Structure formats: structure tokens, C-alpha cells
Amino acid sequence: MKFKAGDATDSDHCLALQHEFLRCQDAFADFEKSATTMILHGKNPLLAYKTYNAYSQFIHHLYEFALGARAREIGDTAQLPSDEAERYILSVTQRILTRTRKAIEDGTSPSWENDISYYPKEVPKEFAREFRQHRNAALGHVMHKRANLSLTDFYTKYHKYLFMLYRDCRSWWSLRGRDFPDLKEITEFSVSV
């Protein structure tokens, strides 16, 4: 569906984006808590399961948020073909990486930022495809390949890029001390009789 900035569809789409980002933020908080427990106390099957679930939810919601942001940019809710989605994810991530490296180089990055050696000049070309495939297999769809798809390897190779995307989105979409928004039917949900 085509829409224009400021119309009713755009307004509703922004509410859906806010909801999706809040889900992403919740999943990341769950992942941080579970991963910290794993680091401090060691891994066990139940903790690995919970950490895997939290991270796969984070991946899922971040991917969906990114595609929702793209829909808003172009004013069209039509589903993007996989190759276009991957090009979009790759270009946004590269833009954030380039901006991060430039801030480090010119001394305007925050004091807590990683050293420039942490950030390569280019996002690996396969990142967006791996992001989509892990989103699909780890949470999006029930697939036999989930049992053999290493989320650990994905985390090791690509977490820095996911976190850069997340951090960039968080600067615009997190609540940052604001009141919880009215998300229409999402915040009207009730199980009371």
C-alpha cells in the first residue's frame, strides 16, 4: 500500500515501527541479562536455550524494524524482495559504519566508543544475507536447518554490525525517559472480562 508522510497510514505505520523497536529493545535487554549470566556463571543447556531465544528474537525484531523503516522511507508497505532487502540492510549498515569510523578518526566519537581497529572499512558483503537467513531460520520459520545453523558463529562474525544498527535506531526510537506511548490496539489489549 502506498502512503504519504503524515497521512493516516503513515501515522499507523509509525506506531507499528515504535512497537517493533520496543520489542527489539526488550529482546536485547533479555539477551544482555542472559548472556551476562552465561559469562559470569558458565554455560548450561537451559541458559544456552534462553540466551539463544533472546538473541534470535533480537535479530528478528531488528530485521523487521529495518524493513519497516525502509517501507516508511519509500512510502510503500509492499514486501521487498530478498535481494532488495539485503541491499538496503547492507547500505544502511555501511553508512553507520562509515560515520562511526569518521567520528573516531576526527575525534568526535564518544569516549566509550571502541578503537578504530574494531571497525573494518567495509561491512562484509554476506552480512545482510546472513542476517536474513538467521532471522528466518532461528525464529521466523520452523526449518530443519535451525538445528545445525550456528547462531554462535553468526554472533561472533556479525554482532558488531547488528549492534551498530540497533544503537543507531535506539537514538531515534527508544523511549529515553518519555512516557510509554499510546499504540492504539496494541496498548488497548486486555484479557480482562
What pLDDT was estimated at residue 43? Answer: 95
CB count within 10 Å of CB 129 equals 16
Q: How far is CA 34 from CA 43, 46, 48, 63, 105, in A?
A: 10, 10, 8, 21, 34
Instruction: Look at residues 27, 89, 22, 92 and name the one whose alpha carbon lies nearest to residue 55.
Output: 27
Residue 76's DSSP bridge partners are 2
In tens digits, the chain (193 residues) has pLDDT values of: 899 998 998 999 999 999 999 999 999 999 999 999 999 999 999 999 999 999 999 999 999 999 999 999 999 999 999 999 999 999 999 999 999 999 999 999 999 999 999 999 999 999 999 999 999 999 989 999 999 999 999 999 999 999 999 999 998 898 888 889 999 999 999 997 6
**Cα(99)–Cα(110) distance, rounded to whole angstroms?**
13
Three-state DSSP class for 2?
A: strand
What pLDDT was estimated at residue 172? Answer: 85
What pLDDT was estimated at residue 193? Answer: 67
| Strands of the chain, DSSP E | none
What pLDDT was estimated at residue 156? Answer: 97
**What are the structural domain ranges in the chain?**
8-188
What pLDDT was estimated at residue 176? Answer: 81
Instruction: Look at residues 154, 152, 132, 150 and name the one whose alpha carbon lies nearest to residue 141.
Output: 132
92: buried, middle or exposed (CB in 10 Å: 19+, 13-18, 0-12)?
A: buried
- Asked if residues 193 and 155 have their Cβ atoms less than 8 Å apart, the reply is no
